[in-house]
Amino acid sequence: MFRRKQPKVAVEVEVPRLSITGAYGKLPTESDFIQIDSNWREVRALDEILQSFYSELSRNQRLEHFRGCGLLLTGGSDRQGLVATVNPSEDKTGRFYPFVLFNRLADASFYNRPDATFTAGLSAIEDAIGEELQQADVNSSWLGLLKAQPEHVSPIDTRRAKRKAMELAEQVSLEDWLNELAGNDMQLREHLIGGTLLLIRQLKQSRVHRAYHGIWLPLLSGTKRHSSIAFWLQLLTGVMNSGSWRPDIVWTTSGANDRLFILTKPLTLSSLQATADAQAALAAFLGWNDVMDVGGLPDEIKANAQQWVSKPEANLLDVAIEWYQLV
């Protein structure tokens, strides 16, 4: 017997969400714990660490620790990329918990590329809240803006993200960097450059002792901070070009502890705790001054450092391109 042909039913294909900007935590105008698109494995793992960390702090410490802190978990293999900022906050009844803004990138073209992940994630968060994060304090208006986002948002192209990182680095000169960190001390400038080159070389050669959580690099303050992060991440992404480098990264912005921490192991409670305190950070992370010999810099590194001290007008993008070849 012949059967009547059944009409085809259209199968709805689920479109993957490649870029998700959300938040969780407390806001001064709300009594409930806020969760916006935060039920992702990478976000939950970060929250578990933050909960453990803040449970050990006094109230005053809770309001000050990690003001302006950021984290980047590079995507690749079994996880997606995540850029997050941690903002000390509390609810309307005074119960403390930070308000965390994040962007989760599930686009494979960003895997193992922390430089592009940083600018893409930061841009997505700023587009969502309508503010530049470098100047932003916790703002209750973010809640409505985050909830009003469309479900599907395309991340910026990887090449555009890398170009944006380059543009950020171009905005700052080597003189800006040296002046803030070393003043007019020419020998300190030379040691800062030479020690940094040695430090990055050790990272490249996997010679950071396991007793350390990783390395730290100095950041500029204020509006130049994101430019200096972009500079370091471009340089390191180029240097660590094996295709499998997937670092966890933390940046802190508390004056005496303006640093970028490149972890050589996955983020844990102890490594996050170490980044929060300036003195603890110096003991737990390898810095440029730790890798110099008592007698000073090796001749090759010293010559390169002296050359760069004499070229303070160079922008940090040019510096990254040249230093990549030196290490």
Query: What does the pLDDT average to over 17-34?
Result: 92
Give the integer Cα–Cα distance in Å for 28 and 44.
22
**Helix, strand, coil shares, percent, the chain, to 5:** 45, 15, 40
Residue with the bigger pLDDT between 18 and 175: it is: 175
For residues 63-73, average pLDDT: 83
72-92 in b/e form (b: 16+ CB < 10 A) is bbbbbeebbbbbbbbbbbbbe
Q: Which of 47-51, 210-214, 253-257 has the lowest mean pLDDT?
A: 253-257
Each as own residue / partner, the long-range contacts of residues 241-248 (CB below 8 Å, 24 or more positions apart, any chain) are 243/112, 244/76, 244/112, 245/74, 245/112, 246/74, 246/75, 246/76, 246/77, 246/111, 246/112, 247/74, 247/114, 247/214, 248/71, 248/72, 248/73, 248/74
Residue 14: pLDDT over 70: no
Mean pLDDT of the chain: 90
Spatial distance between the Cα atoms of 22 and 206, rounded to a whole number of angstroms: 35
pLDDT, greater one: 242 or 161:
161
pLDDT band per the 50, 70, 90 thresholds, residue 11: very low
Query: Nearest Cα to 117, choosing from 72, 79, 69?
Result: 72
Residue that wins the pLDDT comparison between 108 and 256: 108
pLDDT given at position 7:
55
Phi then psi for residue 262, to 5 deg, are: -105, 110
- Tell me the one-letter amino acid at 62: R
Interval 181-240: pLDDT, tens = 999 999 999 999 999 999 999 999 999 999 999 999 999 988 899 999 999 999 999 999
Instruction: For the chain, give the percent of residues with pLDDT over 90.
Output: 71
Residue 57, pLDDT score: 80
Higher pLDDT, 288 or 16: 288
Q: In what order do the strands lie in the sheet with 99-105?
A: 34-36, 19-25, 99-105, 81-87, 69-73, 248-253, 258-263, 214-218, 285-286
> For the chain, where are the alpha helices, taking DSSP H only?
41-55, 59-64, 114-129, 142-147, 158-170, 174-182, 186-204, 225-239, 269-276, 278-284, 299-309, 316-326
Q: What residues contact residue 243 under an 8 Å CB cut-off, 6+ apart?
A: 112
Q: What is the mean pLDDT of residues 40-64?
A: 87
The whole-number pLDDT of residue 1 equals 47
- Nearest-CA neighbor of 64 among 317, 319, 278? 278
Q: Which residue has the tokens 């969760």?
A: 35
Q: What pLDDT is stored for residue 39 in this prediction?
A: 93
pLDDT in tens, 128-180: 998 877 666 788 889 999 999 988 788 889 999 999 999 999 999 999 999 99
Give the residues across from 22 on adjacent strands.
102
Which band of pLDDT confidence, cut at 50, 70 and 90, is reported for residue 269?
very high
Above 60 in pLDDT, residue 261? yes
Q: 């702090």: which residue's tokens?
A: 57
How does residue 59 score in pLDDT terms, banded at 50, 70 and 90?
confident
Stretch 92-113: mean pLDDT: 93
d(C-alpha 317, C-alpha 42), whole Å: 31
